[in-house]
């Protein structure tokens, strides 16, 4: 993996991501200079945002940079998978999300799966 200042990190998520498990890694990675992009299923890309879950109710939204179908694993150095109960369950039903995750693992790239994400 390149120096974190030149790293390009992908976050895959959808509605119901645990707010702190997406926003904190995103912020920390960007603070050290990494380029971070959020990808979501096409249905969420149309609205341009995904909705977080904050403890016991809906929380903040996060802008979506690209549709899962447009992700090219070769363009990224690492993958972050935020948890939450809703988000991972929805993503497990998305064949493209599973394909991307397997591609990261098969290529030996870093995969950070938080809490319920695995």
Measured between alpha carbons, how far is 29 from 103 in angstroms, rounded to an integer? 22
pLDDT tens figures, 80-102: 999 999 999 999 999 999 999 99
Alpha carbons within 13 angstroms on the beta-carbon side of residue 117 total 21
116: annotated active-site residue? yes
Tabulate helix, strand, coil % of the chain (nearest 5). Answer: 35, 30, 30
CATH placement of domain 4-113: 3.40.50.880
Catalytic residue among 22, 45, 116, 117: 116
pLDDT tens figures, 31-41: 999 999 999 99
| Residue (of 117, 17, 103) closest to 63 by Cα position | 17
pTM here is 0.94
Length of the chain: 118
């Amino acid at each position: 993996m390149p120096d974190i200042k030149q790293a390009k990190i992908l976050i895959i998520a959808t509605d119901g991501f645990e707010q702190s498990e997406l926003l904190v890694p995103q912020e920390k990675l960007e603070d050290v200079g990494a380029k971070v992009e959020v990808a979501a299923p096409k249905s969420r890309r149309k609205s341009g945002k995904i909705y977080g879950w904050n403890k016991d109710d809906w929380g903040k939204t996060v802008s979506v940079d690209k549709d899962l179908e447009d992700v090219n694993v070769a363009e990224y150095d690492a993958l972050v998978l935020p948890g939450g109960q809703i988000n991972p369950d929805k993503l497990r039903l998305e064949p493209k999300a599973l394909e991307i995750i397997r591609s990261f693992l098969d290529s030996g790239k870093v995969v950070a799966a938080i809490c319920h994400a695995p």
